[in-house]
Structure 1
Amino acid sequence: MFKNFKKLFASDVNNRSSNIFSNINVGKNITYDDILLSDVLFSCLTMITNDISKLPLNLISTDDNNIQSVVNAKNSYNKLLNKPNEFQNIQQFLAAWVTSKLKTGNTYVLKNYVGDTVKSLYVLDADRVTVAVTPSGEIFYKYRVDTARNLVDLSNIVDSDGEKSTVIIPSRFIIHDRFNCLHHPLIGVSPIAACMLAATQNVRIQQFADAFFKNNARPGGILVVENLDEEKAKQVEIAWSTKFSGGGSGQLAVFGDDVKYTDLSNSGMSALDAQLVEQFDMSAKSICRVFHIAPFLVGVGDAPTVNNVESMSQSYYSQTLQNLLESIELCLSEGLGIGKTSNTNLSVSFDLDALLRMDMQSKVTTLTTATGSGIMAPNEARARLNLKPVNGGDTPYLQMQNYSLDALNKRDQKDDAFANKTITNTKTETNNINKNFNDDEDVTDYMLSFLREQ
């Protein structure tokens, strides 16, 4: 099928996820690797990656009431979610997934089948993958194998387009997660494309500041020599810099030939004149804005005065992480043949409790309210606090004046749940009183005696 692969395709989809960076001139002495190592950009990338990869990834079962529960049984799905491949655990696998998506806008995960079951998952190098579409609309992925560093099991992918180091992978073997599809529905764009100039400026400011502060951010002084030719001036400059700069700063200088030194250390020039801090802060906030991260989370600007951990965590989740998390859940579920599009009641879901943690006081208050109102059983609340269950704690409780839902339901099943009971009880009580008391005086004596006993 793949002998005439090149002729089969109308064209390869331009992989803008990587090519978009090659069209941006980041400037002399500034490389793309330098941009990635910008402290603010690096913080944004690693913060998102680490916060997602640390979350537990569970296999979830949904019942007929749409109630979800974690499936702990040993099966092929749970085995895969714990150890996706032979050289990565689930945390490392998720970190590679998110890093690829943030850096290139795309994540390509190769599914290795044994029979009809997915046995392993591998995150491919997105820069070595090109999406291709046939005239009939079929999607394939062309992967240029790095033979020297390849760790991916390609034993089930044997087709090639004639190039020794290139394999053609049908879409059924690939989980393709992408976002910011600005140019093509199959090609995502990295946020770095939008903050490239800000990141470049950020790096340049740091480089300039490094050179600027080597001399305490100002020239130490000026040497003045009368009737000095260019060659002699160069010799004086070299000799002075060699002996009195760096570690020789502050040593005794002896002058001759009418050399005069003018001290500029108190001239008033300072780093504030260059406004480096303001420029750096502006570029840093631009990077954070592109990644939808609040600047204070990566050490830029001041933290909010509101001391509400839950509120800040919820904001970080909804603005920064939610789209990435739900995309991974959906892509994995579909890739493994489960989820809403399948005939199973299984799906993949992150446990967000590790992220949306409340402070202990708020957590206990919330659980107390839930158990006191009969919503949760005591043991359910104890499990949220990582405490062992206790005997009798598996049933929700209410105060004794409240009827259970089951009792109220039985009452409501009667033809006249309220009137009949009230009338019957009233007649019965009246008859009992008439039997025991002959007149009003006997009733009064009985009530007084009852109150004294109380």
Structure 2
Amino acid sequence: MGLLAKTLSALGLKAAEGEYREGPYNLPITGGWLSAEAGQYANWWQLGFDVTTGRRSAMVEACIASYAQTVAMCPGSHWKWSKENGRDRITGSALTRILKAPNDYQSISDFLLNATANLLDEGNCYAVALRNNRYEIQELHLMNPRRSAPQLAVTGEVFYHLGGNEILEARIGTNIIVPARDVLHIRLQTPRHPLIGEAPIAAAALQQAAGNAALQQQIQFYLNQARPSFVLSTDQTLNKDQVKMLRDSWNEQAKGLNRGGTPILSSGLKPSPLSTTAKDSDLADILKMSNEAIAHVYRVPLQILGTGDTPYASTEALMQSWRAGGLGFVLNHIEEAIGNLFKLGGQPDEYLELDTSALLRSAFKDRVEGWARGVQSGIFARNEARMDFEQAPVTGGDEPWVQQQDVPLSVAAELAKNPPTPPPAQGAADDAAAPEADPEQSRAFLALYKQDMREALRA
């Protein structure tokens, strides 16, 4: 079997006889990518071609780690929408149990960390689901994407041949072939096969190769001692034996165990330092351009990696920019894939959400200002904000508060059509509240009063 056939077989692809597939080619066994030009030759390594691997670049590692560590920080919740309560958090489902402990040797942080790293490094993430006697998913086990691949049956059904998890293979065997319904397969873009994703680094292969070539050349330059930091010069004419003797004397005093010693020069010898040429100073610019291209491919802001020149106004603004780009896609992509495995209805009925508010734990001021505005505008209840800061609930804080002048538009329109009757003045209100006097009682009282007054005068 030729190299191209082996590569396609490892990817789960079978080309027809004589059919050519354009590169670059993913090499799952050794890792990395082989360019389309190199793939034309069976002896590509003898012709000076090399495999471009993502693991050789510190920038690739930084981009993958930024996604993997950020996703692992976001706690997940199972939500379901209801007309009465809005969205309710489901606490007794199989998904909730998996979000707490996917298996007996990994936490959910370990699982999401390695799952995201596999996705962005290899373009695919595989995990096999083990079910209980009620057919509920009880465990999820990550598999090695380099040793796993989808396979199509003759009838068109999708199966997966999985490997690379020593713990699971010791429990259930090494030849793991399961149907698609029991596999969590998260994949990126699939330009060559609808079931096989490709890592973003394939788009930056040339930039990474340029950076790697520059670094390798610089390493060989220093290893081979191609140019010392200075030379010894003299106006005298020296023969070959004298030059060799002086070089050996200098090396004996200044290299190896005697490094740092003080050589003594004679015969008019003077050390002359060599300055760095403009060509050598361009190395930093080449590496910078390569790193920026890789960061752009992974859609990571340079400020996240600590290399950006323009700072953001706040941590919230930086995270918001990233969530609107690459991070938001990765989070949603993982949520949808897990939701499909657990047969959730999807947004907005029933879904999984990885909460990104945990990314602002260190931005205390931004959190306080955000919750204060939400509570003041009546969007959130006071106890919701207190819960985020791990404070006990207060009486009356379970429902939103609004100011008295805030009314719905329908109420405002009704008041404009039928304005309310103004309340009476205070004096009029007191008169209206007083009971009306009986005329007969008033006349009888007046007669008795007059009689009392006459008797008092006679006395």
Per the shorter chain, which TM-score range?
Answer: 0.7 to 0.9
Q: What root-mean-square deviation, in Å, do the aligned CA atoms of Structure 1 and Structure 2 show?
A: 4.2
| Paired residue secondary structure (1:36) | helix
TM-score of the superposition, structure 2-length normalised? 0.73
Is the 1:97–1:107 Cα contact (8 Å) retained in structure 2? yes
Segment of structure 1 superposing worse, 344-353 or 110-119: 344-353
Matched, 1:152 2:168: yes
Pair 199,243 (structure 1): closer, same or farther in 2 beyond 3 Å: farther
Matched, 1:363 2:367: yes
Pair 169,38 (structure 1): closer, same or farther in 2 beyond 3 Å: same
Matched, 1:173 2:182: yes
Q: Name the residue aligned to 2:207.
A: 198
Aligned counterparts of 1:206 and 1:179: Cα–Cα separation in 2: 30
2:340 to 325, 334, 343: 334
Q: Name the residue aligned to 1:441.
A: none
1:389 is displaced (CA, Å) by 1.1
Matched, 1:219 2:229: yes
Pair 364,242 (structure 1): closer, same or farther in 2 beyond 3 Å: same
Is the 1:60–1:347 Cα contact (8 Å) retained in structure 2? yes
2:197 to 188, 195, 204: 188
1:121 is displaced (CA, Å) by 0.7
1:279 is displaced (CA, Å) by 1.6
Match for 2:144: what amino acid?
D
Is the 2:360–2:367 Cα contact (8 Å) retained in structure 1? no
Match for 2:398: what amino acid?
D
- 1:218-277, CA deviations, whole angstroms, 9 ceiling, x for partnerless residues? 531146785645x8866764553343246534512355xxx6644221x54368853222
Pair 17,333 (structure 1): closer, same or farther in 2 beyond 3 Å: farther
Q: Name the residue aligned to 1:324.
A: 330
Aligned counterparts of 1:312 and 1:347: Cα–Cα separation in 2: 26
Q: Name the residue aligned to 1:50.
A: 69
Aligned counterparts of 2:180 and 2:60: Cα–Cα separation in 1: 32
Segment of structure 1 superposing worse, 194-203 or 277-286: 194-203
% identical aligned pairs: 21
Match for 2:99: what amino acid?
L
Is the 1:100–1:126 Cα contact (8 Å) retained in structure 2? yes
1:23 to 29, 34, 49: 34
Matched, 1:77 2:95: yes
Match for 2:353: what amino acid?
S
User: Higher relative CO (CA 8 A, sep ≥ 6), structure 1 or 2?
Assistant: 1
Matched, 1:291 2:298: yes
Match for 1:263: what amino acid?
P
Aligned counterparts of 2:432 and 2:78: Cα–Cα separation in 1: 68
Q: Which runs of structure 2 are paired with 1:105-144 in the superposition (5 Å)?
A: 105-115=123-133, 116-143=135-162
Aligned counterparts of 1:169 and 1:186: Cα–Cα separation in 2: 15
Is the 1:177–1:331 Cα contact (8 Å) retained in structure 2? yes
| Paired residue secondary structure (2:167) | coil
- 1:64-104, CA deviations, whole angstroms, 9 ceiling, x for partnerless residues? 3693232234x433222111112111011111111111111
Q: Name the residue aligned to 2:456.
A: none
Q: Which runs of structure 2 are paired with 1:220-299 in the superposition (5 Å)?
A: 220-222=230-232, 226=237, 228-229=239-240, 237=247, 240-245=250-255, 248-249=259-260, 251-253=262-264, 261-265=269-273, 267-269=274-276, 273-299=280-306
Q: Which runs of structure 2 are paired with 1:61-76 in the superposition (5 Å)?
A: 61-64=80-83, 67-73=86-92, 75-76=93-94
| Paired residue secondary structure (1:194) | helix
Q: Name the residue aligned to 2:120.
A: 102
Pair 264,31 (structure 1): closer, same or farther in 2 beyond 3 Å: farther
Q: Name the residue aligned to 1:6.
A: none
Pair 178,368 (structure 1): closer, same or farther in 2 beyond 3 Å: same
Pair 305,90 (structure 1): closer, same or farther in 2 beyond 3 Å: closer
TM-score of the superposition, structure 1-length normalised? 0.73
| Paired residue secondary structure (2:196) | coil
Match for 2:264: what amino acid?
A
Aligned counterparts of 1:130 and 1:52: Cα–Cα separation in 2: 24
| Paired residue secondary structure (1:183) | coil
1:408 is displaced (CA, Å) by 5.7
Is the 1:221–1:261 Cα contact (8 Å) retained in structure 2? no
- 1:23-47, CA deviations, whole angstroms, 9 ceiling, x for partnerless residues? 24799898766x4142222111111
| Paired residue secondary structure (1:142) | strand
Q: Which runs of structure 2 are paired with 1:271-420 in the superposition (5 Å)?
A: 273-302=280-309, 304-340=310-346, 346-355=350-359, 359-400=363-404, 419=418
Pair 269,96 (structure 1): closer, same or farther in 2 beyond 3 Å: closer
Identify unmatched segments of 5+ residues in structure 2: 1-8, 16-24, 39-43, 435-459
Aligned counterparts of 1:64 and 1:170: Cα–Cα separation in 2: 37
Aligned counterparts of 1:435 and 1:236: Cα–Cα separation in 2: 123
Match for 1:152: what amino acid?
L
Identify unmatched segments of 5+ residues in structure 1: 1-8, 159-164, 437-454
Aligned counterparts of 1:80 and 1:241: Cα–Cα separation in 2: 65
1:50 is displaced (CA, Å) by 0.3
Aligned counterparts of 1:31 and 1:234: Cα–Cα separation in 2: 42
